[in-house]
């Protein structure tokens, strides 16, 4: 088969490797290079770097809606287009070009968590499990029928970054299974998504990182996990802004009678802060301009500062 692969971030790299296991990827589409790092120099996407390493031609049109972009894709005569976190909308005229249409690897159990941030939203909502769906693409936002799916439990302490990496590998395996069927002349059965249970995973915003102590501690702990490694939860504490890399919710048997945001106690396990319900135990924090440190090291630095 002639496969065209479209993807941009690191999440898509394992799927690109799976798609090209038989050297069938004739071209890779990825977003244009973006400024990154302190120098803000143009940086190629993770998918572009992988494609170059594998010797695959790279295309970076700003859009696939132009006549020229469609003509270039049509000239490749693809049997299948695989899309994984590409970041651009594919119009129906593009979806119709490959012989077998376009497949999408999506990091949720559809129809729950359609959209841009399914991994983080699943953790934030307290879902016990998530997974990956291989979907036949339609013009709607993640509305296409599901070809294959694989579920996985979300660990009690799993962060957004850790779950991202696991789902990237699961996605590559699900894609490989689908390609194996297609190569054998078997088209995976497309199962329409149910109309009930639809949830949208809206794009993460930096403004969501600020934690509100009035919320229940369990909800704040999920946010800390979901927003690691980006945008990283943050709080105002001791007159400064702290980023929270690790925290856990603890139950308090009696009403602590303290206003949300009040320090309730400290130990080697962490610093306990009163919340609307329960308390949040801060374990790993980061001061502005510093590196992530244990709460013990942070408190020691505060004591030294007070002593000075």
Please answer whether residues 272 and 279 qualify as being in contact, where contact means their C-beta atoms are separated by less than 8 angstroms: yes
Phi/psi at 307 (5° precision) = -65, -35
Cis peptide before 231 (omega within 30 of 0): yes
Please check if 110 is assigned to a binding site: yes
Alpha carbon distance 297, 93 (integer Å): 58
Helices (H), 85-207: 92-95, 118-124, 160-183
- Segment (H or E) for 136: strand 129-136
Structure tokens of 23?
A: 């050297």
Alpha carbon distance 130, 226 (integer Å): 13
Please check if 64 is assigned to a binding site: no
Spell out the residues 6+ positions from residue 29 whose beta carbon is closer than 8 angstroms to its own: 4, 5, 6, 7, 58, 59, 60, 61, 64, 73, 86
Please give the DSSP secondary-structure letter assigned to residue 289. Answer: T
Q: What is the DSSP code string of 242-284?
A: EEEEEEEEE--SS-----TT-EEEEETTEEEEE-SBSEEEEEE
- In order of 9, 273, 295, the CA distances from 265 in angstroms are 41, 8, 12
CB atoms within 10 A of CB 186: 10
Please check if 109 is assigned to a binding site: yes
Please check if 280 is assigned to a binding site: no
Binding residues for (6S)-5,6,7,8-tetrahydrofolate: 108-111
Binding residues: 108-111
């Amino acid at each position: 088969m002639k496969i065209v692969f479209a993807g941009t971030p690191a999440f898509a790299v394992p799927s690109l490797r799976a798609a090209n296991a038989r050297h069938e990827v004739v071209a890779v589409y990825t977003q244009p290079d973006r400024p990154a790092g302190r120098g803000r120099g143009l940086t190629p996407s993770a998918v572009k770097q992988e494609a170059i390493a594998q010797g695959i031609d790279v295309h970076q049109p700003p859009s696939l809606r132009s006549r020229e972009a469609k003509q270039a894709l049509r000239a490749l005569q693809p049997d299948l287009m695989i899309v994984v976190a590409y970041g651009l909308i594919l119009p129906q005229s593009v979806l119709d070009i490959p012989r077998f249409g376009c497949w999408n690897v999506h990091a949720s159990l559809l129809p729950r968590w359609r959209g841009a941030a399914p991994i983080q939203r699943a953790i934030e909502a307290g879902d016990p499990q998530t997974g990956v769906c291989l979907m036949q693409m339609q013009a709607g936002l993640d509305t296409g029928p599901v070809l294959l799916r694989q579920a996985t439990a979300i660990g009690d302490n799993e962060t957004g970054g850790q779950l991202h990496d696991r789902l990237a590998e699961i996605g590559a395996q699900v894609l490989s299974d689908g390609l194996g069927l297609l190569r054998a002349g078997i088209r995976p059965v497309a199962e329409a998504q149910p109309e009930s249970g639809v949830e949208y995973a809206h794009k993460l915003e930096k403004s969501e990182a600020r934690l509100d102590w009035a919320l229940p501690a369990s909800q704040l702990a999920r946010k800390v996990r979901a927003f690691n490694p980006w945008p990283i939860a943050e709080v105002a504490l001791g007159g400064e802004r702290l980023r929270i890399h690790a925290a856990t919710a603890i139950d308090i048997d009696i009403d602590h009678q303290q206003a949300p945001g009040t320090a309730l106690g400290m130990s080697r396990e962490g610093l306990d802060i009163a919340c609307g319900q329960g308390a949040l135990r801060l374990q790993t924090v980061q001061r502005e301009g510093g590196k992530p440190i244990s709460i013990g090291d942070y408190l020691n630095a505060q004591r030294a500062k007070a002593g000075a």
